[in-house]
Structure 1
Amino acid sequence: MQVFETSITVQTSDLDDLQHVNNVRYVQWVQDIAQAHWLKNATDDILSAYFWVLLSHHIDYKNPAFLGDTLTLKTFVSKSEGVTSTRHVEILNSTTGQLLVASTTKWCFLSKETKRPTRITEAVKTLFD
């Protein structure tokens, strides 16, 4: 299982009225890292033929993050079967290592030509092994 990782620093625009990261921002970061992982690994041929849509999203908010915190975002795919894939994202405080958010998302693989679900190819499965 391949883990993809990136880091970000919390900006003023990420904060809510309580002056910690807004829950909606975490959801956006979960989507952003999934997309970045896909784009980093997929070939041009794969990108021109397929895309993903989100089927379900579960997120556990464990601890807050604040202005100026550096966060580590990690993601990996735990399962790809048929037309669906399960992806996990963890967001941690880079300084303390404290888990802030844990997310599990289920994605559906679609053909760009038909706009319909299509079986995940072996070439795509191996992108995330």
Structure 2
Amino acid sequence: MLAARHDFRVHIEPSNIDFMGHVNNVIYIKWVQSAVIAHWERIAGPEAVVAHLWVALKHEIIYRKPAFLNDTIVATAILDEVRRESAFYETVIRRGEDIVAHVKSRWCCLDAKTLRPTRLGGDIVKRFLTSAA
């Protein structure tokens, strides 16, 4: 288990609010994607970022509490494991101490030129291991 973490502060836009007065469920997926990609970009290094793309394969979301327009929200992306061309993330979305949503997701690494699945090099995976310490 790598447990490399990245906190991503979320900005809630008025357009994120649905007919019920809280953040629409679809927006949570955007937050997860932004947090995971920001984590990748922070640790992977510029050459790896240019050479690889990430696509989501699966999200499992548990919505615990609604989020509202003026809330301060942080999405913490936690890299659990890298296996072959897949990265397994857990993202915890919080408002203060309250967990608003908990998301488990699987991401596939693509070669940026061929758009085919590719494994990450050991040097890149090592950066994530080092950042977890």
Q: Which residue of 2 is the match for residue 77 of structure 1? A: 79
TM-score, structure 2 as length reference? 0.87
Alpha-carbon deviations, 1:36-85, whole Å to 9, x = none?
A: 11111222211222211211111111111112111121011101011111
Question: Which 5+ residue runs of structure 1 have no aligned equivalent?
Answer: none
Counterpart-to-counterpart distance in 1, 2:79 and 2:33: 13
Is the Cα contact below 8 Å between 1:89 and 1:104 reproduced in 2? yes
CA offset at residue 6 of structure 1?
A: 2.4
| Identity rate, percent | 30
| Deviation for aligned residue 1:30 | 0.7
C-alpha separation in 2, matches of 1:31 and 1:25:
10
Structural RMSD (CA): 1.4
Q: Distance in 1 between matches of 2:111 and 2:120?
A: 10
The SS at the match of 2:4 is coil
Aligned length: 127
Q: Which residue of 1 aligns with 2:114?
A: 114
The secondary structure found in structure 2 opposite 1:45 is helix
Unmatched tracts of structure 2, length 5 or more: none
Q: In structure 2, what is the Cα distance between the partners aligned to 1:75 and 1:35?
A: 9
* SS at structure 2 position matched to 1:68: coil
TM-score, length of structure 1 as denominator length: 0.89
4+ aligned runs moved over 3 Å, structure 1: none
Q: Structure 2 matches for 1:90-129, cutoff 5 A? A: 90-94=92-96, 97-129=97-129
